[in-house]
Chain A
Amino acid sequence: MEPIQSIMPVWIILTSSVAAVLIALLGRWPNLRESCIFVAAVIKLGLLLSLAPAVLDGKLYEFEVMELLPNVGLAFKVDALGLLFALVSVSLWIPTTIFSMGFLRPLKRHAQTRFFFFFAIAISSAVGVAFSANLLTLFIFYEVLSLSTYPLVTHHQDDDAIKGGRKYLTYLLGTSIALALPAMIIVYQQTGNLDFTNGGVFASGTSTMLLVVLLVMFLFGFAKAGLMPFHAWLPGAMVAPAPVSALLHAVAVVKVGVFSIIRVLTGIFGVDLLANTPSLSTIVCVLAAVTLIVASLIALTQDNIKSRLAYSTIGQLSYIILGVGLATKIGIAGAALHIPMHAFGKITLFLCAGAIYQACGAKCISEIHGLGHKFPLTMTAFFIGSLCVIGLPPTGGFVSKWYLLNGSLDSDQQWAFAVFLTSSLLNAAYFLPIVYKAFFATPTDPARLDKAKEPPLLTIVPLFITSAGCVLLFFFSDKLFQFANRFAEMYTAQ
């Protein structure tokens, strides 16, 4: 089908960059500054939705800004997966901003303008990744995202923050420069093409050995996806303020990692190549499965709420990678669907953790016993969020896991079915006790509970929005499934 030439993708990406500039200029007037974020987010969301009908019809929006290397340009292409990911990131930007206002202002946190500025840049680059038409463009935005989130991770500027930031950059920049970049150059040198193409770019007869090496370089090179052993940056990045952990380290940054891997697997290697070369598919599945189980086991041992959530994220990201590695249509659709489902669930959990911290300073699970009576709303939201991540109805997480399980049965890697189920049990094992203890255990520190204040309205409202989102996604999952299915069809139908 003829692609639509349109500069719209560029405008969409630039919306939040323009907002970033305004944020920097309006730093002295906080209300004006934050309202400009909301305006930008709404405009961006509106523009994204305006592309949706055509994309769901199977059309593509394309635009090449300029040529950077022979045959490879700074080019954008909007397909169903890219649009889905962009929609999720931008729509969650709104509740996170509300939460940030409630979280940062009462505590009189420093450098709020810097915080919102880099946040907007990060959103721009996440959408840039979503719309990239080739690997080079994707890589550019991937790096911009790493750099622009560094000031957010080190926001507190104390020793822990510096240490966490150091780890963050070492892992993300290190792997992307040392593994993803050379892999990309080798692909370019072999094929002269970096466009994401249906069916991959490799000529038939490319040696399997080379493909295996490249695959491993890509999988580990995009360390934002948190595949073990390159996952340690994510728990380290938990020193960041709660809103950063919520939107960036549960949605934007980590999903950019898996998104990049999906693009490489479907657009550079091609689903057929993956399905027909057992070694490739097996490598992806085994790496993802190991990460999935090990991360869940480590999560069980974490007492710090945010670290437990971080390890849970690492595991859930591997669901997506495993889903694509299965190389079946249903599996890929399930993987794509898991991006929004997990995003809504995990952001709810992180926001709850932030709200609890703000209300009573508790960072650890052992400190929140009995907290449910004090903050019933917050803990209910936490419960809904955990259901969504575990994958139980009536939340969206159930739907994506359903398709992933179906996909594993369709494929040659049927053991993945068992892995998915085991992991879901482990998810339940590390989330539900938190909820149980919050409601039913005797408080360990009653004095702290008495002192605790109800979190301000600005931090509670976003929790409602996202946890309601978790439930709504279950009932309207067919809308999202259209996106996921359109993407899966495009890359599997030959």
Chain B
Amino acid sequence: MTEHLPIIIILGPLLGAVLAAFTAWFRPKLSHPLVFVGLAISFAAALKLVFIVADAGAQKYWLGGWGTKQGHGVVGIQITVDHLNTLLLAAVSGIALLTTLYTKRLVDAELARRQRYFYALFSLLVTGLLGITITGDIFNLYVFMEIAALSSYALIAYGRGRAYMAAFNYLIMGTMGACLYLLGVGFVFAKTGTLNIDDVSAIIPELGQSQALFVGFVLILLGAWAKMAFFPFHGWLPNSYAYAPTASTALLAPLATKVSVYAMLRIMVTVYSIDYIIHSPATQSLVLYLSSIAIVAASFFSLTQTNLKKLAAYFVLSEIGYMVGGAWLANKPGLTGAMVHVVADAAMTSALFMAIGCIVYRLGQAQLDDLKGVFFKMPVTMAAFVVTMAALIGVPPTCGFFSKWYLIQGAAQAGVWHFVAALLLSSLVKAIILFRIIEIGYNRVPHPAIEGNPAIPRNEAPLSMLIPTVAMALGLIALGLVTSTLVNTIISKALPAALTP
């Protein structure tokens, strides 16, 4: 049974999506529990695999049992769970599971009568994301990328008004990214004759210096960057996330971009070798500058925002800069930091958008000025929000502190001081924003405990939203405390052996 666990991860949400779409015809109420069960199975399998991988190393699974010999893999598709993706698989399926629970009330409120296919699309998106993460085949990765992208266009367009335009914008950029990626895969296939990641990585070193392979590398990376909204391909993201229904954003924001970052890491670390980056210092320093600019620019834009959802969208953009920069430092702490941060940031962004969703559910709007007294209205939600912001700022012992620690250590080791400065600046900006929100939400109202002041009635979000939010926020602290264990047992083994310590 355990040898089939990898495929169960994908099958859970895929079957959930198909069944949910089918039952939506005659019994729409069934789709939510179906999707939930599918994701629960997927999460259980992913969690079990984390332990298996930590004990026994990478697990490979050949679909249909085809092409089990090296070099015969062109026909069969391989899926792999190894040290690089096992944590992300667990994070994606776990966050998706919690988000399913969380979004029920939100969907009922926001999409009322239009929600028939929402959960089918939701589950299909998760299928795509898990597929990108688990696949061991670069063309198959493209297929899953499109599955994820198409369902996310639809999920964004569920919002009304400006959401259509935002979704269209995303569609253009997303399609461009996918094309670039596919073109790059074409170059790789032309040179190596295979699409299997293990085979490609075995063949590439034998080919030596090859212009075509390098072009392929660049095209694939550009594709991944467009998908993850890395500067300067970031234009589509803030509007898409701000105008999409809050329920869609709660799923998209934490997972979609992070999975694209993983795709980039996979290409950099396993498909091509990290030497590609080390041996092209000009490209490396260009990308590092772009990362710093991404972080700094996104931080400044987030300072000017008045809408909470949009502000959080700019946070996502700056975090993308963290991960791309960390990966391109191409040293041990930098890559470790990027890999830890993929998981940590998925959790942090999820907690952030869950807290924002609770606020939106009760206040209707997420303008900063509307937050007056929100700490008295929704104390538990705001406590979770403060913990999440502390994690984003990088206050120990939350997970955000440790990933940032590795990133800064990597940057210091490589002597890339502008990246250090950008990371610190982004922390400071987030701290400013947190305390601006505390000032508005707490200090700007007459304190209700003083006699004569009007009482502010408590109006928490419903429990089905509150519990996942609080669980996620507490998870950030738990994740921080186990960071060292995760790095020692799993992430350090995902690093390329050739790296200097």
Which residues from chain A sit less than 8 Å from chain B, CB to CB?
Answer: 66-70, 74, 108, 110-111, 136, 139-140, 143, 147, 150, 154, 157, 161-162, 165-166, 169-170, 173-174, 177-178, 181-182, 185-186, 188-189
Q: How far apart sit A82 and B349, CA to CA, in the bound complex (Å)?
A: 39
Establish whether residues A162 and B424, one from each chain, have CB atoms under 8 Å apart when the complex forms: no
Establish whether residues B428 and A140, one from each chain, have CB atoms under 8 Å apart when the complex forms: no
Residues of A within 8 A of B439 (CB): 162, 165-166
Residues of B within 8 A of A186 (CB): 412
Establish whether residues A68 and B484, one from each chain, have CB atoms under 8 Å apart when the complex forms: yes
Establish whether residues A111 and B396, one from each chain, have CB atoms under 8 Å apart when the complex forms: no
Selected from A140, A154, A157, the residue in CB contact (under 8 A) with B396 is A140
Q: How far apart sit A267 and B449, CA to CA, in the bound complex (Å)?
A: 46
Selected from B405, B428, B449, the residue in CB contact (under 8 A) with A177 is B428
* B283 → chain A closest CB, angstroms: 24
Q: How far apart sit A136 and B485, CA to CA, in the bound complex (Å)?
A: 17
Q: A157-B447, A169-B435 are in contact. Are A143 and B396 (CB under 8 A)?
A: yes
B395 within 8 A of A: yes
Establish whether residues B443 and A157, one from each chain, have CB atoms under 8 Å apart when the complex forms: yes
Establish whether residues B435 and A111, one from each chain, have CB atoms under 8 Å apart when the complex forms: no
Q: How far apart sit A150 and B481, CA to CA, in the bound complex (Å)?
A: 25
* B292 → chain A closest CB, angstroms: 15
Residue pairs across A and B with Cβ atoms less than 8 A apart, 21 shown, are A66-B484, A67-B484, A69-B405, A69-B484, A110-B447, A139-B396, A150-B435, A154-B443, A161-B443, A162-B439, A173-B428, A177-B393, A177-B424, A177-B427, A177-B431, A178-B424, A182-B420, A185-B405, A186-B412, A189-B412, A189-B413
A136 closest partner in B (C-beta)? B396
Q: How far apart sit A29 and B421, CA to CA, in the bound complex (Å)?
A: 49
What number of A-B contacts does a CB cutoff of 8 Å give?
77
Residues of A within 8 A of B443 (CB): 154, 157, 161-162, 165
Q: Mark B400-422, 1 if CB is under 8 A from A, else 0.
A: 00100100110011000000100
B394 within 8 A of A: yes
Given contact pairs A157-B443, A161-B443, A169-B431, a sample of 5 additional A-B residue pairs in the complex whose CB atoms are under 8 Å apart: A68-B483, A111-B449, A140-B396, A143-B395, A189-B333
B450 within 8 A of A: yes
B55 within 8 A of A: no
B280 within 8 A of A: no
Q: Mark B369-404, 1 if CB is under 8 A from A, else 0.
A: 000000000000000000000100111110000100
Establish whether residues A185 and B412, one from each chain, have CB atoms under 8 Å apart when the complex forms: yes
Residues of B within 8 A of A177 (CB): 393-394, 424, 427-428, 431
A140 closest partner in B (C-beta)? B396
8 nearest interchain CB pairs? A140-B396, A110-B450, A110-B449, A185-B408, A67-B484, A189-B412, A157-B443, A189-B409
B401 closest partner in A (C-beta)? A140
Selected from A111, A182, A189, the residue in CB contact (under 8 A) with B424 is A182
* B284 → chain A closest CB, angstroms: 19
* A222 → chain B closest CB, angstroms: 15
Q: How far apart sit A174 and B483, CA to CA, in the bound complex (Å)?
A: 25
* B449 → chain A closest CB, angstroms: 5
Q: A174-B428, A178-B428, A182-B420 are in contact. Are A70 and B488 (CB under 8 A)?
A: yes
B3 within 8 A of A: no
In B429-461, the 8 Å CB interface with A consists of 431-432, 435, 439, 442-444, 447, 449-451
* A88 → chain B closest CB, angstroms: 25
Q: How far apart sit A188 and B442, CA to CA, in the bound complex (Å)?
A: 38
A66 closest partner in B (C-beta)? B481
B396 closest partner in A (C-beta)? A140
Q: How far apart sit A169 and B183, CA to CA, in the bound complex (Å)?
A: 50
Q: How far apart sit A241 and B428, CA to CA, in the bound complex (Å)?
A: 28
Q: How far apart sit A108 and B408, CA to CA, in the bound complex (Å)?
A: 48
Q: How far apart sit A154 and B487, CA to CA, in the bound complex (Å)?
A: 40
Establish whether residues A68 and B412, one from each chain, have CB atoms under 8 Å apart when the complex forms: no
Tell me the dominant secondary structure on chain A's binding face.
Answer: helix
In B444-496, the 8 Å CB interface with A consists of 444, 447, 449-451, 481, 483-485, 487-488
Residues of A within 8 A of B428 (CB): 173-174, 177-178
* B43 → chain A closest CB, angstroms: 26
B404 closest partner in A (C-beta)? A181
Chain B CB count within 10 A is highest, among A139, A157, A169, A177, for: A177
* A233 → chain B closest CB, angstroms: 14
Q: How far apart sit A185 and B405, CA to CA, in the bound complex (Å)?
A: 7
Selected from A67, A111, A166, A189, the residue in CB contact (under 8 A) with B447 is A111
Q: A139-B396, A154-B443 are in contact. Are A181 and B412 (CB under 8 A)?
A: no
Q: A110-B447, A110-B450 are in contact. Are A70 and B484 (CB under 8 A)?
A: yes
Q: A68-B483, A69-B405, A161-B443 are in contact. Are A74 and B397 (CB under 8 A)?
A: yes
Q: How far apart sit A67 and B439, CA to CA, in the bound complex (Å)?
A: 36
Q: How far apart sit A162 and B436, CA to CA, in the bound complex (Å)?
A: 10
Q: Mark B338-350, 1 if CB is under 8 A from A, else 0.
A: 0000000000000
* B187 → chain A closest CB, angstroms: 38
* B480 → chain A closest CB, angstroms: 8
Residues of B within 8 A of A185 (CB): 405, 408-409, 412
Q: How far apart sit A177 and B397, CA to CA, in the bound complex (Å)?
A: 14
Q: How far apart sit A409 and B481, CA to CA, in the bound complex (Å)?
A: 48
* A70 → chain B closest CB, angstroms: 7
Q: How far apart sit A181 and B401, CA to CA, in the bound complex (Å)?
A: 10
Establish whether residues A181 and B408, one from each chain, have CB atoms under 8 Å apart when the complex forms: yes
* A218 → chain B closest CB, angstroms: 15
* A261 → chain B closest CB, angstroms: 19
Q: How far apart sit A166 and B432, CA to CA, in the bound complex (Å)?
A: 9
Residues of A within 8 A of B424 (CB): 177-178, 181-182
Establish whether residues B431 and A68, one from each chain, have CB atoms under 8 Å apart when the complex forms: no
* A223 → chain B closest CB, angstroms: 14
* B495 → chain A closest CB, angstroms: 13
B483 closest partner in A (C-beta)? A68
Establish whether residues B394 and A182, one from each chain, have CB atoms under 8 Å apart when the complex forms: no
* A27 → chain B closest CB, angstroms: 10
Q: How far apart sit A157 and B440, CA to CA, in the bound complex (Å)?
A: 11
* A68 → chain B closest CB, angstroms: 5
Residues of B within 8 A of A74 (CB): 397
Q: How far apart sit A108 and B485, CA to CA, in the bound complex (Å)?
A: 50
Residues of A within 8 A of B487 (CB): 70
Selected from A68, A150, A170, the residue in CB contact (under 8 A) with B397 is A68
Chain B CB count within 10 A is highest, among A108, A111, A143, A185, for: A185
Residues of B within 8 A of A66 (CB): 481, 484
Residues of B within 8 A of A150 (CB): 435
Establish whether residues B402 and A182, one from each chain, have CB atoms under 8 Å apart when the complex forms: no
Establish whether residues A68 and B427, one from each chain, have CB atoms under 8 Å apart when the complex forms: no
Residues of B within 8 A of A173 (CB): 428, 431
Q: How far apart sit A147 and B447, CA to CA, in the bound complex (Å)?
A: 20
Establish whether residues A188 and B409, one from each chain, have CB atoms under 8 Å apart when the complex forms: yes
Q: How far apart sit A165 and B444, CA to CA, in the bound complex (Å)?
A: 13
B427 closest partner in A (C-beta)? A177
Chain A CB count within 10 A is highest, among B409, B443, B488, for: B443
Establish whether residues B484 and A147, one from each chain, have CB atoms under 8 Å apart when the complex forms: no
Residues of A within 8 A of B444 (CB): 162
Q: How far apart sit A74 and B394, CA to CA, in the bound complex (Å)?
A: 17
Residues of B within 8 A of A140 (CB): 396-397
Residues of B within 8 A of A182 (CB): 408, 412, 420, 424
Chain A CB count within 10 A is highest, among B396, B409, B481, for: B396
* A207 → chain B closest CB, angstroms: 14
* B94 → chain A closest CB, angstroms: 23
Q: Mark B27-57, 1 if CB is under 8 A from A, else 0.
A: 0000000000000000000000000000000
B417 closest partner in A (C-beta)? A182
Residues of A within 8 A of B412 (CB): 182, 185-186, 189
* A125 → chain B closest CB, angstroms: 12
* B412 → chain A closest CB, angstroms: 5
Residues of A within 8 A of B451 (CB): 108
Residues of B within 8 A of A166 (CB): 435, 439
* B40 → chain A closest CB, angstroms: 30
Residues of B within 8 A of A157 (CB): 442-443, 447
* A480 → chain B closest CB, angstroms: 32
